[in-house]
Every structure is written in structure tokens, then in C-alpha cells.
Chains A and B, each alone.
Chain A
Amino acid sequence: MSRWRMWFWNRVAPWVLPVAVLVIWQALGSAGVISRRILPTPLGVVDAALMLARQGVLWTYIATSAARAFSGFFIGATVGFTLGTLNGISKKASRLLDTPIQMIRTIPHLALVPLVIVWFGIGEQAKVFLVALGTAIPMYMNTYFGIQSLDPGLLEMARVYRFSRLKMFGRVILPGALPSVLSGVRYSLGVMWVTLIVAETISANSGIGYMVMNAQEFMQMNIVVLGVVLYALLGKLSDVIARVLETRLLRWHPIGMQAV
């Protein structure tokens, strides 16, 4: 009995309200209380998804958006991590580079959208560039901070034991900075989707953003909401990936991860 109760409160209870909202929403939509021109019903959204999937365009859109997001993330994360590492281990590099990077950091990268469109046009490069710029900054910050806050006692120990430069980096600096680097990854993935949504909404000829803007023109509200749901699911997916990375790579960590 009490075990059944525990199962209910742990597993079922968190879903009660969301499911109830969906059911009520569907009922109001079916009864005609909410106009479909304003908000489609949940089943209407599922219908739209099935239709687009049958036409084959749904996967193309998702793949296009994901490719933009992850190639931008990959470039941005690599640049941010490299600069953060460089500045973390070299005093000279950080003297030279940290202040300019901190200055760039104060500019909201989305404010650059008009400029980026002028530079790159409305093609793929503009979107990838914006995502890369947006993700590089948190990766840089977290990597640099992670290395700076390494335990100096461990660094001294490594010196006493004459670790080679390679061993110093691979066995002390990198693993020590990893918790911070991974929170950078998680944060950057969030920035990645937000940036992509904004960039795709402004201009695109494929992808989820294109699908949404197109549907909006023809007042196909169910497809518009489908786009929102897809963004949410993709965002959730990258969060799950980040979490799996953290639990796999930080098994040694006594408390687990701290949030950003």
C-alpha cells in the first residue's frame, strides 16, 4: 500500500497537472470555446506532425535546424574551449586576450543580427556564425574559470612529482576544469537553441523556423505550435545529452554537478 503510494507520488504525480491541462485544452478546443485560428488543439498539432512527416518534409526541417545548431555549437565550443584553456595556462595569453574577450562578452550577440545579415546575407553562414558566437562566450568563461580555480596544492604536487607538460594537462588541468567545462557545455546548448530560433525566424528557406514562418503566413496555427513543440523537444534532448555527459565523466565527483 505505502509502496504503491510512493510510486504514485514519485512517478505519476509530476505528470498529473500537465496531462490535465492537455485534456482540458483539447476539450475546450473540440467544444469550440477556443478558436482554432488562435490556438490549435493538441490533437491538431499531432495531426500536423503526422501530415508533415508523411510528406517527408518534417525530417528535412529538423535535420536542417539540428545541423545548423550543432555545427555552430561545435565551432563556438571549440573556439571558446581553446581560448579558455590558452588563457588558463598562459599568463601572457590571458593578459593579451582576456580583456578584449570580456568586452565582446558585454555585447548581446543577438544584437548583431542586422550586422550579420549584411555580412553574410541570409544564408547558412549567418546562422552558424551567430550560434558559434553565442556559444563560444560561455564555453570560454567556464573553461577559463575552471582552470583558474584549480587547487594550487594539486598543481604543486604535480610539480614535485615532475609531471611532464602533457601529463600536467591531461591528468591535472583538464580533469580538474572538467566540471566547470561541462556546465559551460550545458549552458552553451541552451544559448545555441535560442540563437537558432531567432536567426531562423528572421530568415530561412528550410528548417523549423522556416516551417513556422511559412505556416504563420497561411494561418496554419497547428504547424506554428508544432514548431514551438519541436524546439522544446530538441532543447530537452540536448539537455539530456549534457546530463549524460556529466554523469559519465564526473563519476569521481563526490557531490555531483553544481549548476552554472
Chain B
Amino acid sequence: MAVGNKGVSVRLVGVQKVYGQRVVLDDLDLRIGKGEFIAIVGHSGTGKSTLLRLLAGLEQPTRGDVLIDDSPVTGLTPTARVMFQDARLLPWLSVFDNVAVVLPKPDKLQVEQALDRVGLLEHRHRWPAQLSGGQRQRVALARALVVRPPLLLLDEPLGALDALTRLEMQSLIESLWREERFTAVLVTHDVSEAVRLADRVICIADGRISLDLEVPLPRPRERSSSFLRLESKVLATILGRGSADDNEAHRVGSRGAAPMEA
């Protein structure tokens, strides 16, 4: 298995994805550098998950190419691991075994280190049913990271968590990413989360990229005025307003981001 500490580069060239009559993604071009953290935002049903599934190799593009480290993806992407909105733990395996089961050769130390990094070592003997939603997502994170994958794909992994747990998980993901330097692609509905974590925020609308915005802020990020300005710019794009109308966008933006300010 191709694993290592360095992230991979990702390139989409003229990617189109059609389901039946519906063109979900159309002529999409995107470059993601090694070790970069990308956030993808956009309305529901605009093809964010589809894009992630293309990167994972769970779907093949109708047209165009997905290149990982400059070689085209055929079948499942060997370097990628995926975290879903639901943890998808095997209910009949303990926390420890849920992480161990993804290793070709179970390695106690490796599993315990992974659980330790997400702060769940002491719960390793529990059943998934005995964990909270946030703890379950942390097990899923440990499972995704135990092989130190070069590409981590996250499909709204924090969407179902309460605001406080979500903030904790964001810090955890950020610090793990800073240690490991894998390439990360995070799909999220939460614009603050995107601006807080990503090097670049990408908006998808009508099957195309409508915004590709650098976030040149130092980490860990505070909700400074430049943070808020970037956030409203993203929101304005999603809501289909020109980013020129900053004030208006900001008003809508702070309402949209309300859970984060609680």
C-alpha cells in the first residue's frame, strides 16, 4: 500500500460527471498541491460529494481525468482514505478493533498510537454504541489516519456534531494535518469551518467552480476582521451576490454562521 507522510498532488482535468440526464459536474479543472488543505462549499446537491467520490475512485468521471501525483485514477485511489458524515464504525467491533481492522497486518502499537492521537485510548475496549457522536467521529478519524494516508477526504465529517464538539474536532483535524502534512479535501456546509481550516476555499455552483479563494491567515486562526471578510466573500458567492456588496453580504454572513458564534 502506498503510504507515507507526504501528501499527494491532485489534478482534475476537464472532469464531467453525468448521472442519467443530469450533468452534476461539468468541465471542472482543479489543482491541489501536495499537503494542501482544501475546503469545498456550495449548495446542497451541487456535486460536492460527487467530487469527493471521484477523488476516492468510488466513481469514475464521465469525461476528463482525475490525476493523483500525475497518474490517472483507475479504480479505487490507493492513497486516499475517506471520512463520512456518519462514522460508519462496525457496531460489532470494539473501538480498538474498528481501527485495527483496516490494517492488513494488525499492529497493536500502531492502533494505540492512532487512538491516543484522537484522545480515545482509554475507551479502546468500548463498543461504538457506547460512544457519543463526537467520540465516534474521532474513532473514524483514527481509523482514517492509522495508515498515515497521503490523501484524506472528508465529507461533512462534523455536520452532525454540536457546535462545541465541532470546534474541538476542527482543532484536532488541524493539528493532525499540521503534524502529518497529508493532502486534505474537506466538504462542509459551514463557511466558518472552511475559512478556519483551509488553505483554499472552493465554491461549486452549477457543476463549476465559482470561487477559488486563498486564505492567507496564520494558524491557528482567530475570528479576526480579515477572517470575517473572507467568510463573507465566500457566503456572498454561495448566495449568488457580487462580492462587491460587502456590507450586505456580511450581514447575511454573520447570520449564516450563527452556530459558530454561539
The chain A residues found within 8 Å of chain B, CB to CB, are 151, 153-154, 156-157, 159-163, 167, 171-172, 175-176, 178, 251-254
Q: How far is the CB of B74 from chain A (nearest CB, A)?
A: 15
Smallest Cβ-Cβ distance to A151: which chain B residue? B88
Flag if B82 contacts A160 (CB, 8 Å): yes
Q: What 1/0 flags go to B220-248 for Cβ under 8 Å of A?
A: 00000000000000000000000000000
Flag if B81 contacts A160 (CB, 8 Å): yes
- Tell me whether B252 is interfacial, beta carbon within 8 Å: no
B148-165 residues at the A interface, CB under 8 angstroms: none
Interface of B is mostly: loop
Interface pick from B90-98, B187-195, B210-218: B90-98
Known interface pairs A157-B84, A171-B101, A252-B129. Does A162 touch B92 (Cβ–Cβ under 8 Å)? no
Flag if A154 contacts B88 (CB, 8 Å): yes
Residues of B within 8 A of A156 (CB): 58, 88
In the assembled complex, the Cα of A144 lies from the Cα of B175 at a distance in Å of 45
Q: How far is the CB of B114 from chain A (nearest CB, A)?
A: 14
B116-132 residues at the A interface, CB under 8 angstroms: 127-129
In the assembled complex, the Cα of A178 lies from the Cα of B93 at a distance in Å of 13
The chain B residues found within 8 Å of chain A, CB to CB, are 1, 56, 58, 76, 78, 80-82, 84, 86, 88, 90-93, 101-102, 127-129, 143
Smallest Cβ-Cβ distance to A178: which chain B residue? B92
In the assembled complex, the Cα of A252 lies from the Cα of B94 at a distance in Å of 8
In the assembled complex, the Cα of A178 lies from the Cα of B84 at a distance in Å of 25
Flag if B93 contacts A160 (CB, 8 Å): no
Q: List 17 A-B contacts (CB under 8 A).
A: A153-B84, A153-B86, A153-B88, A154-B90, A156-B58, A157-B88, A159-B76, A160-B76, A160-B81, A160-B82, A161-B101, A162-B76, A167-B101, A171-B101, A175-B92, A252-B93, A252-B129
Flag if A161 contacts B86 (CB, 8 Å): no
Q: How far is the CB of B89 from chain A (nearest CB, A)?
A: 9
Residues of B within 8 A of A167 (CB): 101
Q: How far is the CB of B153 from chain A (nearest CB, A)?
A: 9
Residues of B within 8 A of A161 (CB): 81, 101-102, 143
Residues of B within 8 A of A162 (CB): 1, 76, 78
In the assembled complex, the Cα of A86 lies from the Cα of B62 at a distance in Å of 33
Known interface pairs A159-B76, A160-B82, A161-B81. Does A253 touch B91 (Cβ–Cβ under 8 Å)? yes
Residues of A within 8 A of B84 (CB): 153, 157
Smallest Cβ-Cβ distance to A161: which chain B residue? B102
In the assembled complex, the Cα of A161 lies from the Cα of B88 at a distance in Å of 12
Residues of B within 8 A of A178 (CB): 92
Flag if A254 contacts B129 (CB, 8 Å): yes
Residues of A within 8 A of B92 (CB): 175-176, 178, 252
Flag if B127 contacts A252 (CB, 8 Å): yes
Flag if A159 contacts B58 (CB, 8 Å): yes
In the assembled complex, the Cα of A253 lies from the Cα of B90 at a distance in Å of 11
Residues of A within 8 A of B56 (CB): 160
Residues of B within 8 A of A251 (CB): 127
Q: How far is the CB of B135 from chain A (nearest CB, A)?
A: 15
Flag if B90 contacts A171 (CB, 8 Å): yes
Residues of B within 8 A of A153 (CB): 84, 86, 88
Smallest Cβ-Cβ distance to B147: which chain A residue? A161
